[in-house]
Amino acid sequence: MPGSAPNLSVKNLIPVLAVVAVGVIAWGVMSSYYTVQPEERAVVKRFGKVVAINDPGLHFKLPFGVDTVQKVATERVMKQEFGFRSAGTDGERTEYSTEDFPDESLMLSGDLNIIDVEWVVQYRISDPMKFLYQQRDAERTLRDISESVMRRVVGNRLGSEVLTTARVAISALARDEIQEAMQSYDNGIHVVTVELQDVVPPAAVQPAFNEVNEARQERERMINEATKQANQEIPKAKGEANRALSEAQGYAAERINYAKGETARFNAILAEYRVAPEVTRTRMYLETLFQVLPNVGAVYVVKDGTSTPLPVMDLRRPRPSAQENAQ
């Protein structure tokens, strides 16, 4: 019948529409659930307005584009590389790109030396809301601030300090200043560390730099040897000086004590002499003879008017005993 054709067409479309409706509903149901990983936070927007910040786990959102989700890795430490790039990992080793980035790494030190500085900034997103919407590109801001701060910090140091002893201090100072800048922008980025990877002079002056380093090492070696010798000789000289001083003090004490003894003996004799001058004089004369005569080799007595000496008893010979005289 002519009037039954449209009804037949509608009946044929009903299964198709049912399949489409089921598919749309299934897609809506499947897209209504999303998973947030342990190191992430999810920012949920409804018609462009932030309505929630969800923690890790399984969550529901309105389908069909009503709710949109942006996931931000808030617990993962990320990094930005300056002067070099990582090409990937091969097992446990990290491979690096052979490409140079002189616009980032070449800097001028405080003494006008050119230095090639490579460093890494490690950071973490502390506030996903501020990270996404406080600035247009917070990570680009971090990169620009890091390069500016590092150039200024290196420019305030001598080239020799940057290449040798000041690397830790430069890293700490750069980290503090970059973090202060991020706080002033309030962009939700927390700087964890700043690490200097490689600090070398440019390749064109590398041989001259090596010669300077060798000369510096030779100077340090000579200074160390001189210090070692000084540490050996100074105690030795001090010991010799102390020994000589002790001997001099001992000799001085000996002479002083001897002089005091002689003074006391003289005062004692003087007191006796004042009491009995003749007796004291005779006693002193006899004591002197007793000390002198035993050391005399021979004694000769010559009488006036004679030409030959008279025999004198040998004072050094022991006197005979009474038994010998009796024999």
Close Cβ partners of 41 (under 8 Å, ≥ 6 residues apart): 53, 54, 55, 56, 71, 72, 74, 128
pLDDT in the model for residue 210? 78
Same domain, 82 and 184: yes
Q: Supply the angle between the helices 138-155 and 167-185 in degrees, to the nearest 10.
A: 140
- pTM here? 0.58
pLDDT in the model for residue 3? 47
Same domain, 99 and 131: yes
- Assess if residue 257 is contained within a domain: no
Q: What CA–CA distances, in Å, run from 121 to 136, 145, 156, 195? A: 20, 11, 20, 7
Give residue 309's Cα distance to chain centre.
Answer: 98
Give the domain CATH number at 95: 3.30.479.30
Choose one of 58, 73, 88: the last residue of a domain.
73
- Assess if residue 235 is contained within a domain: no
Give the domain extent around 66: 14-73
Same domain, 163 and 188: yes
Same domain, 99 and 115: yes
| Number of domain units in the chain | 2
Distance CA 45, CA 41 (A): 13
pLDDT in the model for residue 1? 43
The answer to whether residues 120 and 174 touch, using CB atoms and an 8 Å cutoff, is no
Same domain, 40 and 107: no
Amino acid identity for residue 224 in this structure: N
The conformation of residue 44, written as its DSSP 8-state character, comes to E
Choose one of 155, 173, 201: the last residue of a domain.
201
Same domain, 91 and 138: yes
- Assess if residue 220 is contained within a domain: no
Distance CA 71, CA 145 (A): 25
Residue among 122, 109, 118 at smallest CA distance from 83: 118
Choose one of 201, 225, 240: the last residue of a domain.
201
SS3 breakdown of the chain: % helix, strand, coil, rounded to 5?
55, 20, 25
Give pLDDT tens digits along the chain (327 positions).
444 445 546 666 777 666 676 666 666 666 678 888 888 888 888 888 888 888 888 888 888 778 888 888 888 999 999 999 887 766 667 777 778 888 888 999 988 888 899 999 999 999 999 999 888 899 999 999 999 999 999 999 988 888 888 899 999 999 999 999 999 999 999 999 999 988 888 777 778 777 877 888 889 899 999 999 989 889 989 989 999 999 999 999 999 999 999 898 888 888 888 888 888 888 888 888 777 777 766 666 666 666 665 555 555 555 555 555 555
pLDDT in the model for residue 31? 67
The answer to whether residues 110 and 65 touch, using CB atoms and an 8 Å cutoff, is no
Same domain, 116 and 196: yes
- Assess if residue 141 is contained within a domain: yes
- Assess if residue 68 is contained within a domain: yes
Q: Supply the angle between the helices 277-292 and 206-275 in degrees, to the nearest 10.
A: 130
Same domain, 84 and 194: yes
* Segment 256-264 long-range contacts (CB within 8 Å, at least 24 positions apart): none
Same domain, 93 and 197: yes
Residue among 120, 202, 126 at smallest CA distance from 159: 202
Same domain, 161 and 116: yes
Q: What is the 3-state secondary structure (H, E, C) of 101-138?
A: CHHHHEEECCCCCEEEEEEEEEEEECCHHHHHHCCCCH
Same domain, 188 and 85: yes
- Assess if residue 261 is contained within a domain: no
- Assess if residue 219 is contained within a domain: no
- Assess if residue 40 is contained within a domain: yes
Same domain, 126 and 49: no
